[in-house]
Amino acid sequence: MDGGTPLGPGVRVLSLLLGLSGFALAGGLTLEGLVGAAVPEGDWSPRTNWSVYALYRFDQMVLFGPGIGYEGVSGRPSGTIDGKLQVRLPIGRILLPYLAGEAGAGLRPNFGSSYFLWRAGAGLDLKLGDRSSLLAETGWSAFHRYDLRAGLLLDF
């Protein structure tokens, strides 16, 4: 086996699962799933998007970590891989506002047509219990788009 042989998909998935289980055992894993739509500025033609994140809970207010998803960017829909930083604001107990920022890549089958993605926004975190929340967020993203998304957050 030479040093230039890439790892197979099974090894990559196993590595990811081991990493996530380490977060879970350490008590810092939060899973977040969001579904929504992006509307290009000046054009009312919503494009579907979704994302799933494995976030590390630094403390009760700051979460960060990687995610995967799908972006329905006009003319170039793609799978995404990105990172997210989410900061809850110290206002309220049941309904917590937060700020969020994301950056990553829109991956296409031809890597030459892949592109940089970013999103900045704010949202509301409605606490359902000690370890779950409903999320609603909006923001501005790459390619002059407004985003509106809703989702579920689960703490482990």
Instruction: Tell whether 77 is covered by a domain.
Output: yes
pLDDT of residue 1: 45
Structural domain count of the chain: 1
CATH code of residue 52: 2.40.160.20
Instruction: Tell whether 18 is covered by a domain.
Output: no
Could you tell me if 97 and 123 are in contact, meaning their C-beta atoms sit under 8 angstroms apart? yes
* Domain carrying residue 124: 28-155
Count H helices and E strands in the chain, helices first. Answer: 1, 8
Mean pLDDT for each 10-residue chunk of the chain (156 residues)?
Answer: 50 61 66 91 84 91 93 79 94 93 88 86 95 95 89 93
pLDDT of residue 21: 58
Could you tell me if 44 and 38 are in contact, meaning their C-beta atoms sit under 8 angstroms apart? no
Instruction: Tell whether 19 is covered by a domain.
Output: no
pLDDT of residue 46: 85
| pTM check: above 0.95 | no
pLDDT of residue 69: 92
